[in-house]
Structure 1
Amino acid sequence: MGSLPWARGSGRPWRSAGSLWGWAASRLPQHLDWASRLFPGDEEMQILTHSDELNRSYGENTDDPRRERTSPGRTEQDNPSVPESTCTFLQGTPVFKETRATVTVTSAVSSQSARGRGSSEKHGLPEDGEGTEGGEEGVEGTSHFCSSPDEVCPAQSPNAGVRGGDPTLTITTWEAGWNVTNAIQGIFVLGLPFALLRSGYVGLVLLVLSAWFCNHTGRILVACLYEEEQSSGSVSMVRVRHSYQDIVEAGCKGLWPNLPALGGWLVNVAQVIELLMTCTLYLVVSTSLLSDSLSGMAVPRSVCSLVSLVFLLPCLLLTDLRPVSTLSLLCSLAHILISLLVMLHCLSRASSWSWSTLPLSVDPEDFIVSVGVIIFSYTSQIFLPPLEGSMKDRGQFNCMLGWTHGAACIMKTLFSLLAVLTWGAETSEVITDNLPSDLRPLINLILLAKALLSYPLPFYSAAEILQSCLLADVSSHSKPRGRGVSRLAVLLRLALLMTSYLLALIVPRFSLLMGLTGSVTGAAMTLILPCLFHLRLQWGRL
């Protein structure tokens, strides 16, 4: 009972067992070294095993400012000792070529120092479209090591999303379509019947023409992001620009020395103003709907606005377009439900329709406001460059844009026309005010959800522009996964949120703000600038 079974049965003295344990202990470091090479996931073992080799590899070429990160060219079958998902470098010296596997396996030793090196190397990277072959895109922005051997490297194909970003953060064609639908079929549809009443038959034609024209300007705007590249006798399109600002700066080159910087600054100001007005409109509508829903409790309007603001606080932590796409999907479903309910109610009153309510002659002042409202309802050009850059399959962009604008044109025209035929001269600025008392509470609740779900898309876009300008920050989708939002970015987003909240408290009328924004920034960003810069940048191909 006092002895272990293996000790009683073996018949060997304890010193033999001790020598056996001593032999096993002497062989243990060799097995640990072999295990660390076979299982690269244990980071602590990698640090102990390869620290000397890592220091030699990094120390012999620290003055190279042009290191780039690429996906490995060999497959797992060609090099089974190196996982397929690891990252390597385009080294120009024999030292790096000989130690590629070692650097790959031990790349997780110091993520903090790697990020520090990456920030100091960003100025040594080539421009977009340079140093690439076959239309593939290089790494943009800050280069850094993978945080672990199992981290997936960014794909370098044109359809892999934004350069240098994590491919898991790219969006599908459907998700991009939901974002565009959210932008062009937002809460502003509620003001279209009133705009159609003021513009008459001319407004009906304008609804159709605006859809076609905005679709066309969206396509040519994205075409300005690309340049032709000759390679092996074939012509390929390379994405050399990434934002509206890049397009403006490229179009202004050669005209005046300081014009590119001034033009980029002005277009960023115009984008932020339009996006801020859009966020303000969503807050105005959500406040009005919440106040109407709680009218029996006599809740002050300021309290309703504050409650809406509380629901929007999670927008401060948005890091990429994927959660925004999910919210846009829910918003689009709510929009379809609202449109169907309102149109079914209008069809039930078809016997009282009168075409005489649509005037042939319109007042010029009312018509200008109506044109601004209609154009503003189709505004999506601000979102298109980053949205197209985040798509997995960029070749489907034009098709996606055409279908979304076609569906929006049909839905808006039917919705506005049926509402005007039903209520005639009594059509309100916000069409929900004309609904019967038994249907209005349900519609208001759905509209409230739609307004709150629509807010993140323009807010996220405005925050990205402000971060890139004021904080010299890279876009959120190009940051490493799990990094989140910095404190300065959160403070900047909080200031943006509070600005839209304060504007929502003092804005006088919903339709006037829509018309003002659509007539000034909306017309310039949607109709004028895309055409001008397409002629400027693509003149040789036209």
Structure 2
Amino acid sequence: MFKTSGKSLSLQYKTQLDNSESVHNADFTMHRANCNICMEESKQCHCDPINIEGTNVDAEHDTKANCSFTHAVINMVGMLIGLGQLSTPYTLEQGGWASSFLLIGLGVVCAYSSHLLGKCLEKNPKLRSYVDIGGQAFGAKGRFLAATFIYMEIFMVLVAYTISLHDNLITIFLGTHMRLHLAKLSTAQLLSIGAVLIALPSLWLRDLSSISFLSTCGILMSLVIFVSLAYTAIFGGVQFHHRIPVLHLHNIPLIFGINISSYGGHIVFPNLHKSMKDPSKFTKVSIVSFTIVIAFYTAMGFMGSKMFGPNVDSQVTLSMPRKQIVTKIVLWATVLNPMTKYALGFAPFAIQLEHRLPSSMSKRTKMIIRGSVGSFLLLVILTLALSVPYFEHVLCLTGSLLCVALCLIFPCAFYMKICWGQISKPLLLLNLSIITFGLLLGVVGTISTSKLLVKHFQPAQSA
């Protein structure tokens, strides 16, 4: 990902808890002061503002919404570039070069839906988050539905990151043998458990600047991955001789789910809108940012598929030449990247959990509760990742079941509800078409991926 660090990152974090990438990227942090994900019926959110370094977040938001156009573009690009950089070559090879039109088309539609979120925010300046928009459109049910999908997406993306960590650790320590007499675990499982346990203390962090530092490390790891892949393509001695097939129509549901998850940054777009000096330029920011990301993903897809052909892995880093030093660097970067995501991914839930605890509790007790709950959830994520070690299927299921709703269906539905009566018939037809398209491919992708997962598990159970 590409995003500024240092003082500018620290200031940005005061209003957004670090505008991180999304699983959906995401990058993960939804609303920086997302303590306002309230689910009480028919009530506006009245969460206590979170103080960062003695500063009121809401006041900071009003007085220091100083994100320039360029900074906003950098942040949005950073939110969008995540696991998609690993999976795009695989999707292009599986779908054929004609599937690149789906990759590009989804990017265009997601840029349009981000524009709709901006329009909803302009309609009511009091709205601050994705959940607020859902509440404005459909009341308490809209808030609850949006919050539920957001937390589910965060959870599933963390599972996908953990699977990525597991797969790359196996490659790094290929040939290594470890044993634990107390449990029948493989070497790969022991390595993954060890890595997650190393990252576990980060869930006990309450200081937001520390979490911001972890995000900066994650950004650097993403940069290392990109530079290493580019270096391998140019100087690594890998020939671009593989022929990309035209189209594999039967793989489109799988391709759709993975591709839509690559553009999953919408849950933090409202926060970016609120951080801008001139929010009226948000649509231009979306256009420029998605153009950059679409070009990046398309280039990565063609480069990876031409380099490795049918042998390209669902994570392109696993297809790189094993003996080269640059490969070891990119593998370690891919392992370290997920380890920086856990605290960021858990932050919105932790803030909400702490807000709901009785005010009579001491800070120490609250820290123990939130840390214990976070540790338990991380162990659940680890267990699920080791039980379902199919990166592409988990990513596709996340995209088809969750990202399609958060990136396509909900923004269009919220916009039509909030701005009903001011929408022209062509625009209404466009939004309805996007919702129908999203529902159709989402259902087909979810069913198709579920069947593939069942097929993978059946041989294992029969054996």
Q: CA contact under 8 A between 1:268 and 1:465: conserved in structure 2? A: no
| Change in CA separation of 1:155 and 1:194 when aligned onto 2, cut-off 3 Å | closer
Instruction: Name the Cα RMSD after superposition.
Output: 3.7
Which stretches in structure 1 are left out of the alignment for 5+ residues?
A: 1-122, 129-139, 162-166, 228-237, 253-259, 474-481
Deviation at 1:278, TM superposition (A): 0.5
Q: Which whole-Å CA distance do the structure 2 matches of 1:151 and 1:467 have between them?
A: 18
8 Å CA contact retained: 1:190, 1:432? yes
Instruction: Kindly name which structure, 1 or 2, has the bigger radius of gyration based on alpha carbons.
Output: 1
- State the distance in 1 between where 2:350 and 2:71 align: 20
Partners in 2 of 1:432 and 1:533 — Cα distance?
38
| 1:427 partnered with 2:312 | yes
Q: 2:104 matched to which residue of 1?
A: 208
After TM superposition, the structure 1 = structure 2 runs for residues 207-286 of structure 1, keeping only pairs within 5 Å, are: 207-227=103-123, 239-252=125-138, 260-286=139-165
Aligned residue among 248, 256, 259 for 1:371: 256
Counterpart-to-counterpart distance in 2, 1:535 and 1:212 = 19
Select which of 340, 353, 374 maps to 2:240: 353
State the TM-score, normalizing by the size of structure 2: 0.68
AA of the residue aligned to 2:304: A
Change (3 A) 1:152 1:204: closer
Return the letter of the residue paired with 1:205.
F
1:501 equivalent to 2:386? Answer no
Q: 1:179 offset after TM fit, Å? A: 5.7
Query: Within 2, Cα distance between the matches of 1:423 and 1:501?
Result: 30
2: CA distance between counterparts of 1:179 and 1:324?
A: 17
After TM superposition, give the deviation of residue 359 of structure 1 in Å. Answer: 2.2
Q: Which residue of 1 aligns with 2:292?
A: 407
Residue number in structure 2 paired with 1:393: 277
Task: Report 1:312-323 matches (<5 A).
Answer: 312-319=199-206, 322-323=209-210
Alpha-carbon offset, residue 321 of structure 1:
5.9
The answer for unaligned runs of 5 or more in structure 2 is 1-39, 179-186, 424-463
Identity percentage of aligned residues: 21
Equivalent pair of 1:159/1:393 in contact (CA under 8 Å): no
- 3-state SS of 2:267 partner: coil
User: For residues 367 and 171 of structure 1, what CA distance do their matches in structure 2 show?
Assistant: 38
Do residues 382 (structure 1) and 264 (structure 2) align? no
CA deviation vs aligned residue, 1:81-131 (integer Å, no higher than 9, x gap): xxxxxxxxxxxxxxxxxxxxxxxxxxxxxxxxxxxxxxxxxx9xx979xxx
State the shift of 1:443 in Å: 1.6
Distance 1:412 1:328, change over 3 A: farther
Secondary structure of residue in 2 paired with 1:295:
coil
Query: What per-residue deviation string (whole Å, max 9, x for no partner) do you get for residues 435-493 of structure 1?
Result: 1122322221122222323444333234445656x6599xxxxxxxx999643333332
2 CA distance for matches of 1:381 and 1:263? Answer: 16
Residue 317 of structure 1: CA displacement?
3.4
Deviation at 1:522, TM superposition (A): 0.8
Q: CA deviation at 1:506?
A: 0.8
For the residue of structure 1 that corresponds to 2:246, the secondary structure is: coil
From 362, 386, 408, the counterpart of 2:248: 362
Aligned residue-pair number: 368
Distance in 1 between the 2:296 and 2:365 partners? Answer: 38
Report deviation, 1:513.
Answer: 0.5
In the alignment, is residue 436 of structure 1 matched against residue 321 of structure 2? yes
TM-score (norm: length of structure 1): 0.59
Shift in Å, 1:523:
0.5
Matches within 5 A, 1:48-63: none
Once the two structures are superposed, the pairs formed by residues 162-177 of structure 1 within 5 Å of their partners are: none
Alignment check: 8 A CA contact 2:72 2:276 kept: no
Match of 1:235 in 2: none
Q: In proportion to residue count, which structure has more helix?
A: 2
Conserved? CA contact 2:118–2:282, under 8 Å: no
TM-fit CA distance, 1:205: 1.5
- One-letter amino acid matched to 1:312: A
SS where residue 128 of structure 2 aligns?
coil
1:209 deviation in Å? Answer: 2.2
Counterparts in 2 of 1:513-524, with a 5 A limit? 513-524=394-405
Give me the whole-angstrom Cα distance separating, in 1, the residues matched to 2:73 and 2:218. Answer: 12
Contact 1:159 1:394 in 2 (8 A): no
Q: Distance in 2 between matches of 1:392 and 1:325?
A: 19
Whether the 8 Å CA contact 2:159–2:385 is kept in 1: the answer is: yes
What is the correspondence of 1:479-498 to structure 2 with a 5 Å cutoff?
Answer: 486-498=367-379
Aligned partner of 2:16 in structure 1 is none
- Secondary structure of 2:255's partner? helix
How far apart are the structure 2 equivalents of 1:141 and 1:379? 26
CA contact (8 A) 2:196 2:339 kept: no
Q: Does 1:160 align with 2:45?
A: no
CA contact (8 A) 2:129 2:270 kept: yes
